Structure 1
Amino acid sequence: MARPRLLPDPVGLKFVNLEAPPDWDAEFGFSGPLELEIGSGAGGHALEYCRRNPQVRFVAFEWRKKYARDTQSRGEKMGLKNLRVIEADARAVVPRIFASGSLAAVHLQFPDPWWKRAHFKRAIIQPEFASLLLDRLVPGGRFDMRTDVEDRAHGMLAVLEEAGFINPLGQGAFHPYEPEEVPSTRERRYLQSGEPVYRGRLVKPG
């Protein structure tokens, strides 16, 4: 896939300064499960997931403008009516635009591992944000996490489980790959090369 160029029109900015959740039914023009992706990257997961699941309203956050704008543009060209991309830091906006118990699922694909110890605080899965995501999910809602960094995978699982998420396979256990999953752009490469991917599929008690 060609590297995206920076398109001129921002995407999702109307959501960034909202102080309360929008009317998502009106925004999408239909009702259905509302799902969130944090860090959609090149958009491989978001676009294919929306194509396969047209009944899902899917909101994808990506702070890198060129990737966010390219994903939204490609989604429009594909005729996807169920995708909204927001070019912003999810940690700042998610608390305001999603009500408690409103999300059916949260997707987190290969977050930046922040290798330097001084940068650990920038990691997306911190105790406070994990608790907030748990609150925003419906009872029984799921958290789908994937990473290629084993120690970060263990750390994120521990934080999520401490926040109250349930791991159906047991505390600290990773989930195997399932063929019906929708892989991200990066995960497709790993599936071809055989490199390990660490998957967590957690649920909110319900």
Structure 2
Amino acid sequence: MTFNHQFSRLFQLDKIQPPRDFLPMSSDFWQINVNNICLEIGAGKGKHALQFAKNNPNFQLIAIERTEQKFVAMQKVANAETFANLTVIHADAVAWAVHGVPKQSLAQIFILYPNPEPHNPNQRWLNMPFFEFLLSRLQPNGKITLASNIADYIDEAYQKSVDIWQLPTLKSQVPTDSERTHFEVKYLARGETCWQLDITKPSDYCTRFDDV
């Protein structure tokens, strides 16, 4: 199956330069860990990344954070814990994914409490042409987990996922005792409701980047 291309601009791969000081993962990394590699976009200070690495020793997690201050905090904790299944990256996630992630290589992608981009909705993840490329890096039956405390953001993302990207999508409320990220802890402590989308890529799903 494929989505309706007329509703999505084609992502311009040739416009994306490699991140500064880009060091790709080795080919052995992708081959040895096939079917067990996950990506976290906007990992912040690494709270979820560390929890995931600890609780899922059979999976490799690549945690990317663009903001230097947050990345340094995550790197410090990651170095202290020395999890062999966690790699932290300081880079823009779009550029790093374009130049560093092979097609159909990721079992799961986490996007937890992203910037809602209130003044630029086109920069929301499911509104971006890049999202098609990101789907091409996901394995068949792979999953994307998106969480936010903003109901309108989640509702829009759900609509885009189902109607535009034509992906099986489940919407659920985050348990009030969940502690995956610092944002999640803060929002739930204030009594806010947090929401999650679990998006699955069907085994026969096609994108325009499957051969790239």
Scaled by the length of structure 1, the TM-score of the pair is 0.78
Aligned partner of residue 39 in structure 2, secondary structure: strand
- Displacement after TM superposition at 1:134 (Å): 1.4
Q: Deviations over 1:83-139 (max 9, x none)?
A: 1111111112202211111000000011111222xx333333334222112111111
Aligned partner of residue 115 in structure 1, secondary structure: coil
Aligned partner of residue 126 in structure 2, secondary structure: coil
Q: 1:164 aligns with which of 144, 163, 166?
A: 166
Q: 1:63 aligns with which of 63, 66, 73?
A: 66
Show the counterpart of 1:53.
56
Letter matched to residue 139 of structure 1:
P
Q: 1:199 aligns with which of 189, 196, 199?
A: 196
Verify: 1:183 aligned to 2:202, yes or no: no
Share of identical aligned residues, percent?
23
Distance 2:141 2:106 in 1: 10
Equivalence map 1:71-86=2 (5 Å): 71-86=74-89
Show the counterpart of 1:92.
95
Question: Using a 3 Å threshold, how does the CA distance of structure 1 residues 93 and 126 change in structure 2: closer, same or farther?
Answer: farther
Distance 2:102 2:202 in 1: 18
Distance 1:182 1:203 in 2: 23
Distance 1:181 1:24 in 2: 35
- Displacement after TM superposition at 1:41 (Å): 1.2
- Displacement after TM superposition at 1:199 (Å): 0.6
Distance 1:152 1:176 in 2: 14
Show the counterpart of 1:41.
44
Q: Deviations over 1:118-175 (max 9, x none)?
A: x3333333342221121111111111000111111122223333223211x4xxxx21
Show the counterpart of 1:115.
118
Aligned partner of residue 125 in structure 1, secondary structure: helix
Residue segments in structure 1 that go unaligned for 5+ positions in a row: 1-11
Aligned partner of residue 35 in structure 1, secondary structure: strand
Letter matched to residue 157 of structure 1:
Y
Aligned residues: 183
RMSD value, Cα: 2.6
Distance 2:144 2:29 in 1: 22
Q: Is the 8 A contact 2:30 2:105 kept in 1?
A: no
Single out whichever of 174-183 and 50-59 deviates more from structure 2.
174-183
Distance 1:203 1:97 in 2: 22
Scaled by the length of structure 2, the TM-score of the pair is 0.76
Question: Using a 3 Å threshold, how does the CA distance of structure 1 residues 122 and 176 change in structure 2: closer, same or farther?
Answer: closer
Show the counterpart of 1:25.
29
Aligned partner of residue 147 in structure 2, secondary structure: strand
